[in-house]
Amino acid sequence: MNRNIVLLLALVLLVALCAPALADSQPWRKADLFAVRSVPMVEGWNLVGWTGDEVLVEDALASIAGKYDQVYGYDAFDDNPWRIYDLTLAQERPDFLRTLWTMQRGRGYWVRCVEPCVWELP
């Protein structure tokens, strides 16, 4: 038999024999990562991901209302990539100063908390 074929078969056999052992030794691979419902947040900046359906920022962060003041998102495919939801601006601010309206599945967001809290995802 060709030497490369023998090596390939040996590699396939090794993976087949080791895969169950590796899966058992890494329980996090079996965990439902989307089942996380509580996220501890520190005072200052927190990088979080959104796994739910698209929702308004204030609805997504309702459980920590009053405990955060800024949220930043990033869209690399836009000429002006940073999206901003800033509660520190005056209520009369023009809409163009608030460019982040919704949180979208699969995106990351920087959330600035004014005190430690636990974000309970809706």
Ramachandran angles phi, psi of 99, nearest 5°:
-110, -5
Q: What is the pLDDT of residue 76?
A: 87
CA torsion through residues 109, 42, 57, 90, sign: negative
Q: Cite the DSSP H helix spans in the chain.
A: 3-25, 57-60
Contact 66, 57 (CB under 8 A): no
**What is the DSSP code (8-state) at residue 67?**
S
Model confidence at 12, pLDDT cuts 50, 70, 90, reads low
pLDDT digits (tens, 9 = 90+) for 53-93: 999 999 999 999 999 999 999 988 888 899 999 988 766 66
pLDDT digits (tens, 9 = 90+) for 13-44: 555 555 555 555 555 555 555 567 899 999 99
